């Protein structure tokens, strides 16, 4: 049942991933799930760049270099983590959004549609037993120097994925009643 998968969804980080590769067919299925996200005026703004193998290492080196170049007082441990985390992932998907050239809808709606596509990917990964999380480092603003991007396309972050062995903790949420106001009840 979809509600059970929603409740089971967790962030699983690269440090938790094992060395088992993610099959291309599984990545394709995850991307197909993304493609069914709702979107206003059928702009389908989501764009994805899939990195496996050597491209993950190149991403890590690029992120580390940009961090050292553009962040005041960079920390060596952070630079190393930027190099190491991509290597630990089974795959990384750059999450990009392509702005509607006609700007028929507000930009936030296209960002929201892209986020819904990522939620579909996350739920698909949960069902498939693949760990994942969405990382949005400030360094994404430099990704047009790493990827070929179309005019109006921006990178919103990275979707790290990997198989994992450990049992994930139960999640806690405050009651929904604390977040809802009924107008006619």
β-pair partners for 51: 92
To the question of whether residue 55 is assigned a binding role by annotation, the answer is: no
To the question of whether residue 11 is assigned a binding role by annotation, the answer is: yes
CATH fold of 17-53+88-164: NADH Oxidase (3.40.109)
To the question of whether residue 185 is assigned a binding role by annotation, the answer is: no
For the chain, the domains span 17-53+88-164
To the question of whether residue 134 is assigned a binding role by annotation, the answer is: yes
Closest CA to 17 of 64, 54, 47, 56: 56
Look-up: residue for tokens 């991007």?
Answer: 149
Q: What is the pTM of this model?
A: 0.95
To the question of whether residue 64 is assigned a binding role by annotation, the answer is: no
Going residue by residue through the chain, which has 185 residues, state the pLDDT in tens, using 9 for 90 and above. Answer: 899 999 999 999 999 999 999 999 999 999 999 999 999 999 999 999 999 999 999 999 999 999 999 999 999 999 999 999 999 999 999 999 999 999 999 999 999 999 999 999 999 999 999 999 999 999 999 999 999 999 999 999 999 999 999 999 988 999 999 999 999 97
């Amino acid at each position: 049942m979809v509600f059970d998968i929603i409740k089971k969804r967790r962030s699983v980080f690269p440090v938790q991933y094992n060395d088992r590769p993610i099959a291309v067919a599984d990545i394709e299925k995850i991307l197909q799930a993304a493609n069914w996200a709702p979107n206003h005026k059928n702009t389908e703004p989501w764009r994805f760049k899939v990195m496996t193998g050597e491209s993950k290492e190149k991403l890590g080196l690029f992120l580390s270099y940009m961090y050292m170049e553009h962040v005041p007082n960079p920390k060596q441990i952070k630079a190393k983590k930027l190099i190491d985390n991509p290597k630990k992932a089974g795959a990384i998907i750059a999450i990009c959004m392509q702005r509607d050239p006609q700007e028929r809808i507000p930009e936030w709606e296209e960002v929201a549609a892209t986020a819904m596509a990522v939620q579909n990917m996350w739920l698909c990964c949960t069902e498939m037993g693949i760990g994942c999380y969405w990382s949005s480092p400030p360094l994404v603003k430099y990704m047009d120097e790493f990827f070929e991007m179309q005019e109006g396309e921006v990178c919103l972050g990275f979707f790290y994925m990997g198989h994992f062995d450990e049992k994930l903790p139960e999640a806690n949420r405050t009651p929904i009643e604390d977040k809802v106001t009924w107008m006619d009840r």
